[in-house]
Amino acid sequence: MANKNKKFSRRSPVAAALVLLAGLVVSGGSYVAASAAVTNAAPKTEVDQAQVETGKKIFLANCASCHGKNAEGTDSAPTLIGVGSASVDFQVGTGRMPMQASGPQAEVKPVQFKQEDIDALAAYVSSLAPGPSTPTAEYLSRKGDATKGGELFRINCAMCHNAVGAGGALTGGKYAPSLRNTSAKHIYEAMVSGPQNMPVFSNTNLSPEQKTDIITYLQYVQENPSVGGDELGNLGPVVEGLLVWLGILGLIILFTIWLGAKSN
């Protein structure tokens, strides 16, 4: 029974080492499997140090002049410690940052970095302190309820952004931009990070599912034309009034002149 196989016996020190290794693998592997089953909105739990280093280099070259060498903020720009990867991905991904000129609001302009560089920047900034992170794909699907999303949008967002997201004015040169061409990811990130004067809609205010509903509503509105004909930018009665009083009334006046004129 014992020592049947001269090469490998149950009592050899190699066997003991193998059993120990198997035990470690099983216990470690089951822990990883268990912790991976607890999903949260943050996509990555591990930190890619190389990405963080790349991000730091890009940061020092492009952002440190206003935001400080350690992102601690200066007189020109606020601190980025705690803003999270969502904030960075939104601001840099829509072209708002690097800010072109100081003013009441950063404007959308051509994006200056490739997505991998933006991800590196986001990784660096989120490594400084925890903050809202970029959403996983499940929250950006169109599987939300557009009706519920529409109700939430009207209650929380439509007063600044207009009932279908065409944008609106605020005080002192600030404005709520149009959402007609904004991607789902950027909408989510803007909600969760509250850029500039936009309030913060944290996950305790609007849950991730509610954010998905809102994004689904906006996507529905982006893709479906208005049944009432030309939307004229969805800017409401002012634009329509302008069209009627200048355009259509002008045509009516010309027609009335023809109506009363004698034939030659």
Partner 1 sequence: MAKDPKDLAVVEAHDEHDYETGLAVIAADKLADPGIEPHRVRMTDKSVKHEKAAARQVALMFFVSILGSAFAIWAYYAFPFDGVNANSLRINTVFLGLGITLGLFGIGVGAVHWAKTLMPDAEVSEERHLTRGTEDVRAAAVEIIRLADQESGFSRRKLIRRTLYGALALFPIPAIVLFSDLGPSPKDSLRHTMWGKGKLRLTRDPDGTPIKASDVQIGSVFHVIPEGLVDLEAPDLLNEKAKAAVLLVRLDPSEITQKQRDWGYDGIVAYSKICTHVGCPVALYEQHTHHLLCPCHQSTFDLANDCAVVFGPASRPLPQLKIEVDAEGYLVAPGDFAEPVGPSFWERKA
Binding site for partner 1 (CB under 8 A): 151-152, 155-156, 159-160, 168, 170-172, 174, 194, 196-202, 204-205, 224-229, 259, 262-264
Between the alpha carbon of residue 168 and those of residues 103, 159, 173, 217, 258, the distances in Å are: 18, 8, 11, 18, 41
Strand partners of residue 176: 168
- 3-state class (DSSP) for residue 176: strand
Q: Where are the alpha helices (DSSP H) in 63-130?
A: 64-67, 84-93, 115-128
Which amino acid is present at 15?
A
Nearer to partner 1, 29 or 241 (CB): 241
Nearest CA to 176 out of 163, 40, 45 is that of 163
Nearer to partner 1, 68 or 195 (CB): 195
Nearest CA to 53 out of 107, 121, 103 is that of 121
Shortest Å, Cβ 88 to partner 1 = 17
Nearer to partner 1, 3 or 224 (CB): 224
Shortest Å, Cβ 47 to partner 1 = 25
Shortest Å, Cβ 223 to partner 1 = 10
Nearer to partner 1, 110 or 225 (CB): 225
Burial 169-195 (b: 16+ CB within 10 A, else e): eeeeeebbbbbbebebbbbbbbbbbbb
Nearer to partner 1, 110 or 172 (CB): 172
Shortest Å, Cβ 216 to partner 1 = 16
Nearer to partner 1, 93 or 131 (CB): 131
Shortest Å, Cβ 234 to partner 1 = 14
Nearer to partner 1, 51 or 216 (CB): 216
Nearest CA to 134 out of 21, 248, 241, 44 is that of 44
Is 74 within 8 Å of 181 (Cβ atoms)? no
Shortest Å, Cβ 235 to partner 1 = 13
Shortest Å, Cβ 222 to partner 1 = 13
Burial 215-224 (b: 16+ CB within 10 A, else e): bbbbbbbeee
